[in-house]
Each structure stands twice: as structure tokens, then as C-alpha cells.
Amino acid sequence: MDVVKNAKAFQKKMKLHIPLSIIYTKILPSPLGITMSTVSATSSLPDFQQSVKLKYVKLGYHYLMSHLLTLLLIPLFSLIILHASQMTPQDIQYLCLHLRYNHLTLIAFSIFIVFAFTLYIMTRPRSVYLIDYSCYRPPSNLRANFHQFMEHSTLTGDFNESSLDFQRKILERSGLGEETCVPEAMHTIPPRPSMAAARKESEDVMFGSLDNLFRTTNVNPKDIGILVVNCSLFNPTPSLSAMIVNKYKLRGNIKTFNLGGMGCSTGVIALDLAKDMLQVHRNTYAVVVSTENLTQNWYFGNNKSMLIPNCLFRVGGAAVLLSNKGCDRRTAKYKLLHVVRTHKGADDKAFKCVYQEEDEVGKTGVSLSKDLMAIAGLALKTNITTLGPLVLPISEQVLFFITLVAKKLFNAKMKPYIPDFKLAFEHFCIHAGGRAVIDELEKNLELMPEHVEPSRMTLHRFGNTSSSSIWYELGYVEAKGRMKKGDRVWQIAFGSGFKCNSAVWVALTDVKSSPNSPWADSIHRYPVQIAV
């Protein structure tokens, strides 16, 4: 135990990102039955030869299983070609005569082919393309650095010393940077939350995103046939979707939807709704607007479970333009492949883990349960169980199935095989809900630091922008020039209820960053080192 403690202290002191398995002795089991060499506490390097061998064994297995059908068909086609090459002109003439005098067979086969092709065309879902999207970049005068945040919290007079100290610690450990923004009403002393101020915040975010989107894509707002807006905590009358219709004078037969109270994963829910509507209405555009409103939902009490959102949530929003027009494939950035939604609301603990309520003195806030991370883990497990067969290569599915059978039949204590989702996706956009959420997914999905970099940097630069955070993360990947044609993207978000939702995209081209990207003024400074 002393060796382990010393190793951890040395790792922390030197700020190394080396697994402790390299510093102290540990045996790493392999799903293929191969055991890597152990490394003693005094060894300077691991046995790279063994680890490299294991790596290539797994890569070879993955390649074999991925191309198994092709490898099996090659001998069959070789036999057919060999047999055809040995046919004489008399054999070919006999085959033609045979078909000529079997009209019924030929007609029946032709009818079957035409019927099957027609059925396929009529039943296959229409492709949904992402033309472009725009994320709102708040003005610099709304920035709230840690010192200013704590100073304003102190001057309001609503928080006791214990609550102020708690907020200070949360900020220091949150992973947020000094440039995140809070609403204009929170910059005054005392704060002035009101319906008018909340409307202004929503208008600034939604109209700012949409103005940039329409300007970038050159799409006429009157061509929009479907509009979906989501905002959990602010639902005025007329609705937010009606505000957009009024602002841009959208056409009278537009299909509008306004989603509220569904948490940070509502962006994927709104996307799923727009996708379903695009299956019904031909040759049209759909716009999805994802945002949150903080002005009327700031907590001014001393319940610590309700103070956390004050420290994490910040101003932000995104507008996304979708199309089902075949001609838009040439100009679109991405094609939507899958949307998988998981709802755990039937469980009472999951239902109450993110809950808006009044505290003991009647002040309204959103409380976060101590069971939140455990519930999020269960929701994630259910979600990826459904998503896995849709996206994972056959090699990973076979390994998972074999491990599951072995666990059931031979050893109930055997650890389940965690599929390697890095074989299914090149990019991961994990909802920037907080540092703990990103850490847990990085650990449980065995991701590399570069896979969670977009999420960490989005949290640092913009904070938790609720349902729009996955679009800021996608913007980060594009701004870094990492999105190549054929790359697959996994957007995953968690929200109250409790829900875990996933969207999967494939890049149709080498995607470049959009004009007026929210990262345009800061991408050269990222990634940054985040203090532990």
C-alpha cells in the first residue's frame, strides 16, 4: 500500500497523465486470453513488445471480422468465374434457349425484382441532412470571471458564509474558465430578474443564432416548413417558437413545436422530432433551436444542492438547419444516421434526481441529487445497449456476446466486456454538464484525452449551456480542422426525467468551420491545461 500511495503522490506532483498501472505492479487481463507482462514499481518502462503484440492481435481480429463476408465470398466468386470461363459457345447458346422457352419463369422473376425494388424505395426512411448550424457567442460584457461572480454573490446579501464558500469551491473544481457568461440581469446589484429581462435573454440568444444561420446558408426563412424550439425553464406565452415566427415572418402553414421542462438532453429530442416530421413532409427545411434561460431561474437561497446550477450553467444556444431534399446532399455537412433515446422516468430516484422545487424558505431552484452520477450511469448503459448493435463493428459485438454467455454459464463474477466505441466513432460530443460527467464517460467508455477534449474545452470556454453544448463541441472539432469525410460523430446528452439520448452523424465532406464560429476568436488558445 505504501508503494501505491507513493506512486500516486509522485504522479500528482509531477502532473503526469501516465496510468498508475505503469508505476506499480498490475496484471492486465485481455479478452483474447493473452496476459500482458507485469511492471514492477522499480521498472522504468512497461513491456512494450507484449503490448504491441496484443494491439496487433486485436487489430487483426477486428479486420478479419469486419471483412468476414467479403473473405467468404471471394472463393465463391472465384469458382463462378472459373466455371464461366470454361463454358463453350454451345453451352451459352443452350442457356439462352432455355430462358427463351421459360417465359413464365422469366416474367415471374422480373415482377418479383420490380416489386421488391418498389417496396424498398417506398419504405426506406428519407435521408436527413444537416446543412449547417450556428452557436451563439455572448458579448464580452456578459462575462463573469470567478472574482466578479463571487463578489456579486456576496453583495446580493442572499447567501450566508457557508453557501459562499461552497460556491467558491464548486467554481474552482468545475472546469469552467474565466470567460463564461451570465445574463445581463445578473450583472446588476441587486440582480433584477424579470419577465422582460428573461424575454430579452431568449431573444438575444435565439435571434443571434438564427441571424447568423440564415446569413451563412442563404436560406430564405419563408422556406422553413418545420420549427422545433426547446428550452426547459422558460416557457412564456406566446411561446418561444411563436417569437421566432413573428420575428422572421415565417409562413402561415409552418409546423411549430415548443418543448419545455425536458432538461439538457432536449436538443437530441428536438432533433428526433424534426427528423420524424421530415419523414412526413417532402422537400422542406426544418430548423431546431436549442437554448436555456437563466434570468428567472437563478437560485438565491442557501440549499447547497440547488446552488450547483448557479456555478455551472451559462448563457448559450444553437440553431440547426436540416433538410430532406436529395439535392442538398452536395452542400450538406452531415447526414443523420441514428437517434437513440432512453427514458428512466419510471424509476422514482431517477425521476427526482434533477428536480425543480422550492426550498425550506420558499425560494425556487433546481436541486441535484447525490445519486445523479449513478443514475446517469444506468441510463447510459441502457442507451448504449440499444445503440451498440447499430454502430459497433461485428468484431466487438461477437466479443460482447461471447463474454456475456461466458458470464451467464461459467462465472457470474466475470466483468462484462466493454465494447470499444472508438472503433465506431472518430469524434465524441459529450454533453458538457460538468467535469464529473465528462470524467465518468471518459473512464467508463475507455476514451482517450483527445476524444473528450471538445467537451472539456467547451465547458471551460462557455460553461454548461444545457442542450446546446453538443453543438459548441462539434464546432470545436471543426475549428480544429479534425472533421474529415466519412468521420462518424456521437453526440450524447443527459437530462432531467431522467434521460440519456444519442445522435449519430456521418460527415459528407471535409468539414470546415462555419463563418462566425463561436470559436473564431479563441481556438488558437485551445486546448488549455485545466487545473486539477
pLDDT attached to residue 255: 97
Contact between 32 and 61 under an 8 Å Cβ cutoff? The reply is yes
3-state secondary structure at position 16? coil
For residue 231, the number of C-alpha atoms closer than 13 Å in the C-beta half-sphere is 29
3-state secondary structure at position 410? coil
Does the pLDDT at position 280 exceed 70?
A: yes
pLDDT in tens, 412-446: 677 767 788 998 999 999 999 999 889 989 988 88
Strands (E), 199-333: 224-230, 255-259, 285-291, 317-323
The region of weakest confidence among 94-98, 228-232, 407-411, 508-512 is 94-98
pTM for this one?
0.80
The size of the chain, in residues, is 532
Does the pLDDT at position 93 exceed 60?
A: yes
Q: Quick one: cell of 480? A: 480544429
- How far apart are the C-alpha atoms of 230 and 232, rounded to whole Å? 7
Please give the share of the chain, as a percent, with pLDDT higher than 90.
Answer: 62
Nearest residue to 206 via CA among 288, 298, 132: 288
Beta bridge partners of residue 336, listed in sequence order: 505
- How far apart are the C-alpha atoms of 484 and 481, rounded to whole Å? 8
The widest CA-to-CA distance across the chain, in whole angstroms, is: 101
For residue 450, the number of C-alpha atoms closer than 13 Å in the C-beta half-sphere is 7
Active site residues: 264, 343, 427, 431, 460, 464
Q: Which amino acid is at 150?
A: M
Nearest residue to 291 via CA among 223, 367, 228: 228
ω before 389 within 30° of 0 (cis)? no
Task: Tell me the C-alpha to C-alpha distance, in Å, between residue 105 and each of 96, 108, 110, 115, 117.
Answer: 13, 5, 9, 15, 18
Q: Quick one: cell of 197? A: 429581462
DSSP annotation string for 127-141 = P-EEEEEEE----GG
Please give the share of the chain, as a percent, with pLDDT higher than 70.
Answer: 83
pLDDT in tens, 141-173: 999 999 999 999 999 999 999 999 999 999 999
pLDDT in tens, 40-57: 333 333 443 344 344 445
pLDDT attached to residue 54: 44
Count the Cβ atoms, other than its own, within 10 Å of residue 516.
15
Residue owning grid cell 476568436: 521
Q: Per 3-state DSSP, what percentage of the chain is helix, strand, and coil (rounded to 5)?
A: 50, 15, 35
Strands 488-495 and 364-368: unpaired
Residue owning grid cell 441514428: 338
State the angle between helix axes of 435-444 and 449-462 in degrees (0 to 180), rounded to the nearest 10.
170
3-state secondary structure at position 250? coil
Strands 427-430 and 364-368: unpaired
Contact between 321 and 248 under an 8 Å Cβ cutoff? The reply is no
